[in-house]
Chain A
Amino acid sequence: MTPPEILKPEERVAFALRALYRSYGYSQFRMSKFEEYDFYVRNKSFLVSDNIITFTDTNGKLMALKPDVTLSIIHNTRDCETGTRKVYYHENVYRPARGSHTYCEIPQVGLECIGEVDDYAVSEVLTLAANSLAEIAPRYSLNLSHLGLLSELIRRAGFPEQTHPELFRLIGEKNIGEIRLLAARSGVSEEQLLGLISLLSASGEPKQTLKLLSELCTDDGWQRELDRFRRVIDALPADRIRLDFSVVGDRNYYNGIVFHGYAEGVPTRVLSGGQYDKLMQKLGRSSGAIGFAVYLDRIERLDPPAEDYRVDTVVLYRDDTDPATVSKVVRELTAAGKRVIAAKRLPELPVWRDLIRL
Chain B
Amino acid sequence: MKEFLNIALPKGRLGEKVYAMFESVGYDCPSIRENNRKLIFENETVGVRYFWVKPSDVTIYVERGAADVGVAGKDILLEYTPDVYELLDMKTGNCRMAVAAPVGFRDDPARTLRVATKFSNIARNYYSEQGREIDMIKLNGSIELAPILGLSDVIVDIVETGTTLRENRLEVVETIIPISARLIANKASYQFKNEQIRRLTERIEQKLSEAES
Considering only residues 127-162 of chain A, those with a C-beta below 8 Å from chain B are: 139, 141, 143
Which residues on the A side are within 8 Å of B63 (C-beta)? Answer: 267-268
Q: Which of A141, A174, A268 contacts B192 (CB 8 A)?
A: A141
- Please report the C-alpha to C-alpha distance between residue A264 and residue B63 in the assembled complex, in whole angstroms: 15
A266 contacts the other chain (Cβ, under 8 Å)?
yes
A183, chain B: closest CB distance, angstroms: 15
Are A268 and B194 in contact, CB atoms less than 8 angstroms apart? Answer: no
Which residues on the B side are within 8 Å of A18 (C-beta)? Answer: none
A177 contacts the other chain (Cβ, under 8 Å)?
yes
A33 contacts the other chain (Cβ, under 8 Å)?
no
B101 contacts the other chain (Cβ, under 8 Å)?
no
Residue of B nearest to A169 (CB): B81
B180, chain A: closest CB distance, angstroms: 10
B86 contacts the other chain (Cβ, under 8 Å)?
yes
- Please report the C-alpha to C-alpha distance between residue A175 and residue B83 in the assembled complex, in whole angstroms: 12
Are A175 and B191 in contact, CB atoms less than 8 angstroms apart? Answer: no
- Please report the C-alpha to C-alpha distance between residue A264 and residue B188 in the assembled complex, in whole angstroms: 7
B166, chain A: closest CB distance, angstroms: 29
A173 contacts the other chain (Cβ, under 8 Å)?
yes
Q: A267-B65, A267-B189, A268-B187 in contact; A246/B85 too (CB < 8 A)? A: yes
Are A269 and B187 in contact, CB atoms less than 8 angstroms apart? Answer: yes
Are A268 and B83 in contact, CB atoms less than 8 angstroms apart? Answer: yes
Central interface residue in B63, B186, B188, by most chain A CB within 10 Å: B188
B175, chain A: closest CB distance, angstroms: 15
B64 contacts the other chain (Cβ, under 8 Å)?
yes
- Please report the C-alpha to C-alpha distance between residue A262 and residue B188 in the assembled complex, in whole angstroms: 6
Q: Which of B85, B86, B89, B186 contacts A267 (CB 8 A)?
A: B186
Are B65 and A177 in contact, CB atoms less than 8 angstroms apart? Answer: no
Which residues on the A side are within 8 Å of B186 (C-beta)? Answer: 267
Residue of B nearest to A242 (CB): B191
| A 229-267 binary contact with B (CB < 8 Å = 1; else 0) | 000000000000010001000000000000000111011
A178 contacts the other chain (Cβ, under 8 Å)?
yes
**Interface size (B, Cβ < 8 Å)?**
19
Q: Which of B89, B188, B192, B194 contacts A177 (CB 8 A)?
A: B89
Q: Is the interface of B mostly helix, strand, loop or mixed?
A: mixed
| B 60-75 binary contact with A (CB < 8 Å = 1; else 0) | 0001111000000000
Interface contact tally, CB-CB below 8 A: 47
B88 contacts the other chain (Cβ, under 8 Å)?
yes
A9 contacts the other chain (Cβ, under 8 Å)?
no
Which residues on the A side are within 8 Å of B86 (C-beta)? Answer: 173-175, 177-178
Which residues on the B side are within 8 Å of A139 (C-beta)? Answer: 192
Which residues on the B side are within 8 Å of A264 (C-beta)? Answer: 188, 192
A261, chain B: closest CB distance, angstroms: 9
- Please report the C-alpha to C-alpha distance between residue A263 and residue B65 in the assembled complex, in whole angstroms: 12
A204 contacts the other chain (Cβ, under 8 Å)?
yes
Are A177 and B88 in contact, CB atoms less than 8 angstroms apart? Answer: yes
Are A174 and B87 in contact, CB atoms less than 8 angstroms apart? Answer: yes
Are B191 and A143 in contact, CB atoms less than 8 angstroms apart? Answer: yes
- Please report the C-alpha to C-alpha distance between residue A139 and residue B84 in the assembled complex, in whole angstroms: 21
Are B191 and A141 in contact, CB atoms less than 8 angstroms apart? Answer: yes
A48, chain B: closest CB distance, angstroms: 12
Which residues on the B side are within 8 Å of A204 (C-beta)? Answer: 194
Considering only residues 133-192 of chain B, those with a C-beta below 8 Å from chain A are: 186-189, 191-192
A146, chain B: closest CB distance, angstroms: 19
Residue of B nearest to A139 (CB): B192
Which residues on the A side are within 8 Å of B88 (C-beta)? Answer: 177
Which residues on the B side are within 8 Å of A177 (C-beta)? Answer: 86, 88-89
Considering only residues 204-228 of chain A, those with a C-beta below 8 Å from chain B are: 204
Considering only residues 258-303 of chain A, those with a C-beta below 8 Å from chain B are: 262-264, 266-269
A-B contacts, 14 listed (Cβ < 8 Å): A139-B192, A141-B191, A141-B192, A174-B87, A175-B87, A177-B88, A262-B187, A262-B192, A263-B188, A264-B188, A266-B65, A267-B65, A267-B188, A268-B188
Q: 8 closest Cβ contacts across the A-B interface? A: A267-B65, A141-B191, A175-B86, A173-B86, A177-B89, A174-B85, A262-B191, A262-B188
Other 18 A-B pairs with CB < 8 A, given A267-B189, A268-B63:
A139-B192, A173-B84, A173-B86, A178-B89, A203-B194, A246-B85, A262-B187, A262-B188, A264-B192, A266-B65, A266-B188, A267-B63, A267-B65, A267-B186, A268-B64, A268-B65, A268-B83, A269-B188
